Amino acid sequence: MEKSCNQNHSKNEKHYYDTSLSANMEDYIETIALLSKKNRVVRVKDIARELNIKMPSVSAALQKLKELNLLDYEKYGFIELTDYGFKIAEKIYDKHSLIAGFLHDLLKLESNQSSEEACRLEHYLSAESCSQIYKLMQFYKNESAASSEWTIKLNSIMNCRTLINYTVGDKLRIIDQGEVNDSICPVGALCTIVDINNDCSVLSLSCNGKNMDIPFEAACTIYASYAETGL
């Protein structure tokens, strides 16, 4: 039997779904699902604390979600998602995991920042956009596993920051020397941030055994990564 293009690429595809709920309602569903995994029971005060929202507002939102058959809830009682509610929570969390993974694994943001930004983005990216991101991530992971040259270069770029984003004592490798003389601070050189003056106008750098003071404006143009990440 002849295989179709869809069959050949199905393993690199995943379908995502829009819930038709507002961003706030999705936050409630996702929070209840996560609290259900951590706690024996979920109460209004638990949700209010987690989302930093007043309890009367939580109660009003829960009533709306109950009317949509997404949860079981009686005033002053415990909250439980219905089977349908759990399915919706899974769809929301699928989006969250995908976006957080994209931000962390490909864009190299810190885990906490990736999760926080995913919490905001998951409500606004369409299902189609998420499916496309999934295909990109699968391709990137496969290429990375094969040590493709372009992924090595991409990781090097994404792992680097300008000097002003590092702190005293950080050992770095220069990726782009910016406005500093190439012979003093060449690409690939190992260096250490020695000092940052009180008004942050000058950054002192030890590079190739030489100390230099770099004005803030110039430091903003020099890109480096932590030395252990390599080139």
pLDDT band at 200 (very low <50, low <70, confident <90, very high): confident
Q: What pLDDT, on a 0 to 100 scale, did the predictor assign at position 11?
A: 62
pTM, 2 dp: 0.73
In tens, the pLDDT along 138-189 reads: 999 999 999 999 998 888 788 888 888 888 999 998 888 777 765 667 888 8
Give span(s): CATH 2.30.30.90, the chain: 160-229
For 160-229, the fitting CATH number among 2.30.30.90, 3.30.70.20, 3.30.830.10, 3.20.20.120 is 2.30.30.90
CATH number, domain 23-143: 1.10.10.10
In tens, the pLDDT along 46-82 reads: 999 999 999 999 999 999 999 999 999 887 789 999 9
Q: Which residue has the tokens 């829009």?
A: 18
Q: Reduce the DSSP state of residue 14 to 3 states and report it.
A: coil
Q: What pLDDT, on a 0 to 100 scale, did the predictor assign at position 1?
A: 44
For the chain, the first-to-last Cα distance in angstroms comes to 47
Q: Write phi, then psi, for 29 (nearest 5 degrees).
A: -60, -45
Give span(s): CATH 1.10.10.10, the chain: 23-143
Confirm if 65 and 71 have CB atoms less than 8 A apart: yes
Which burial class, exposed, middle or buried, applies to 34 when counting CB atoms under 10 A from its CB (0-12, 13-18, 19+)? Answer: middle
Q: How far is CA 8 from CA 3, 11, 25, 76, 138, in A?
A: 7, 7, 37, 53, 14
Residue 71: closest CA among 105, 112, 35? 35
